[in-house]
Amino acid sequence: MTALLGILNITEDSFSDGGKFLDPETARAHALQLAKDADAIDIGAASSRPDAKPVPPETEIARMAPIVAALRESGVAVSVDTFAPEVQRWALTQNVEYLNDVRGFPDPALYPALAASSAKLIAMFSVEGLGPATRIHIPPEELLNRISRFFEQRIAALGAAGVARERIVLDPGMGLFLGSHPEASFTVLRQLGDLKRRFALPLLISVSRKSFLRNLVGRQVADIGPATLAAELYAVRQGADYVRTHDPRALKDALAVFRALDGNKA
């Protein structure tokens, strides 16, 4: 069964819903609504899009703290999406179920804390490797090898630090995290099966509302739901174990239909 992570952006400038959930009560209500259909809520308080305004770690924590507490009180699993080590350390003290890093945990100083925790670690690949997405042109045919080398190095480093292999979730990145070539994300989505075979670890895919889909179909964010759902369903068919999405209800319903058509085997 594919697990769904509902996206909650508590940011000023996220591409899809920047500023919409800065109010704590609005964010809390939206998180609990998402939780009706999601297996966990992935909370981010600093945008990783190109040209995003830097957010101090103390601001990230202040934005997330009341929402994490509310979800904890309601028994909802929490994922914290941050590449700031200070925020990651704070998240671990909250006993979150997932820690999601778009840099893939590059800081060895954090490894003892990671090893001592029980959180699953979502290690994402990006062509830049540090911080937000960037506009770099990488030939799509090079990406699978780049992603594989990155995962090999990061799995080895985390393992040597005492992180159990079964706690690692691999995210090959999507959109501008794979560079500016319009075919990059489509190429990697087609190769998810190869990544599954190479690493035998869970894969997380996050294509929700991404620019490569908007550019393909010529839609704005508000109208990109159907294209997002198509890409998410394809990712699940290719072996995605987790899908990070703005609309877990739509994906949950679509997967229920797929399972019924497959005789409940999907």
> pLDDT tens across 59-81, in order?
999 999 999 999 999 999 999 99
Instruction: Kindly report whether the global pTM for this prediction surpasses the value 0.85.
Output: yes
Q: How confident is the model at residue 11 (pLDDT cuts 50, 70, 90)?
A: confident
Task: Report yes or no on 172 lying in a domain.
Answer: yes
Give the count of domains, the chain: 1
| In a domain? residue 233 | yes
Query: Do the domain assignments include residue 37?
Result: yes
**Distance from C-alpha of 136 to C-alpha of 134, rounded to nearest angstrom:** 6
Please give the mean pLDDT across all residues of the chain: 93
Q: How high is the pLDDT of residue 20?
A: 79
CA 252 to chain centre: 17
| Mean pLDDT calculated for residue range 119-128 | 94
Q: Residue 14: which pLDDT band, with cuts at 50, 70 and 90?
A: low
Residue 198 lies in a domain: yes
Confidence (pLDDT) at 128: 79
pLDDT value of residue 132: 59
Q: Residue 15: pLDDT band by 50, 70, 90 thresholds? A: low
Over residues 27-32, the mean pLDDT reads: 95
Q: What is the CATH number of the domain that holds 52?
A: 3.20.20.20
Question: CA of 78: how far to CAs of 55, 142, 237, in Å?
Answer: 21, 34, 25
Q: Does residue 187 belong to any structural domain of this protein?
A: yes
Residue 28's pLDDT is what?
94
Which comes out higher in pLDDT, residue 15 or 163? 163
pLDDT of residue 265: 61
Domain that holds residue 89: 3-261
Give the per-residue pLDDT at 153. 97
User: Which residue in 98, 59, 91 sits closest to 204, CA to CA?
Assistant: 98
Alpha carbon separation from 88 to 10, 253, 264 (Å, rounded):
16, 33, 38
- Residue 66 located in a structural domain: yes
What do you get for the CA distance between the two ends of the chain, in Å? Answer: 7
**What is the arithmetic mean of pLDDT over 188-215?**
96
Given a cut of 90, is residue 47 above it in pLDDT?
no
Residues 71-114: pLDDT tens digits? 999 999 999 999 999 999 999 999 999 999 999 999 999 999 99
Rg (CA), the chain: 17
User: Would residue 211 count as lying in a domain?
Assistant: yes
- Over the stretch 150-192, which tens digit does the pLDDT of each residue have? 999 999 999 999 999 999 999 999 998 998 899 999 999 999 9
Domain membership flag for residue 266: no
Contacts of residue 172, Cβ cutoff 8 Å, sequence gap at least 6 = 124, 125, 147, 178, 188, 192, 195, 203, 205
Which secondary-structure segment (H or E) carries 43? strand 40-44
